[in-house]
Amino acid sequence: MTIAREAPTRLRFLSLEITGRCQLSCPSLCYAASGPTRSHGSMSEDDWFRTIDQAVALGVEEIQLIGGEPTLHPGFVPIARRAVDVGLRVRVYSNFVRIRDEHWRLFEHPNVRLATTYHSSVPAEHDEVTGREGSHKATRANIIEAVRRGIPLNVAVLDGGDHERAERARAELQALGVQDIHVGKVRAVGNAAGTALPATSALCGRCGDQRATVLPSGDVAVCEIGRFLTAGSVLNASLESVLSSAQWAEASASIPRRTDPTACNPDCQPADSDSCDPGKNDPCNPMGYVPAVTGSPAAGVPTLL
């Protein structure tokens, strides 16, 4: 049965995954399966400009630039500045492996904020997760630099079951002066899913709700985590027409919705604590997450039902 709905009246938050390329591979973790051999995709710089302009017309208040590693895209700075120039808030999710001077100048704009992921306070553990030796040293140094510059920064610590390691990482970040820290669950998507098929139970339940993601191919997904649910491309249609389509309605309707009082706000982002902090009544656990019995060796590991 075809599901019909009215044209979207408001889109608050839009993620732009401008590249699949990344210096890191994160073989057991990356939800996007990014890596050094991935491409920047089919979207040109002008395509991203057009998408940003269309997003403003739909009421978007903030965009997120993500990847892969967004700073590796040759048009990263112009794309980010286009968003700032049209009045949007910009959130850059970077691995912090290499930040150039021109990037720091951009990040100091009052409408720009940063996010990164810190896997462990132990260099060898962090490097094992990322698949690149020296990544811990680089990321930690750039976290310190962002704090020194007073740039708004959210740092995510992903808890895949080793709670002590996650808490040690949180404690170190606090000691470094990071004020916005989010300890979140690993979702069973991308590399973290292994051979399992993608499932909506890995999602928080608010994908597609006043938010969307444009992938490097131009395909529009319900969110970056729910990248397996797409409905059209901005390469051959406007963003509004994609979000007004029956395909989009069907994709959104396939996600189990949360109605409890602590459900995520529509601007919930991967590892973002603004509104989806598991420290605040666990509002953003995957829909299929089942808390393990205290003392179980699998405690905290997300389970797909």
The predicted-structure confidence for 207-235, as pLDDT tens digits, reads as follows 767 889 999 999 999 888 778 788 999 99
Domain ranges of the chain: 13-253
Say which CATH architecture domain 13-253 belongs to: Alpha-Beta Barrel (3.20)
10 Å Cβ neighbour count for 149?
Answer: 12
Beta-carbon contacts of residue 11 (< 8 Å; ≥ 6 apart):
55, 58, 59, 60, 210, 211, 212, 239, 243
Q: Does the structure show a pLDDT above 60 at 119?
A: yes
Phi–psi pair at 142, nearest 5 degrees: -80, -25
- pLDDT score for 204: 66
pLDDT band at 189 (very low <50, low <70, confident <90, very high): low
Nearest 5°: the CA angle 152, 157, 161 is: 165
pTM for this prediction: 0.81
Beta-carbon contacts of residue 165 (< 8 Å; ≥ 6 apart):
120, 121, 122, 125
* Among 131, 115, 276, 133, CA closest to 191: 131
> Within its chain, how far is the Cα of 81 from the centroid?
20
pLDDT band at 70 (very low <50, low <70, confident <90, very high): very high
Task: Kindly state the tokens that stand for 93.
Answer: 């999710």
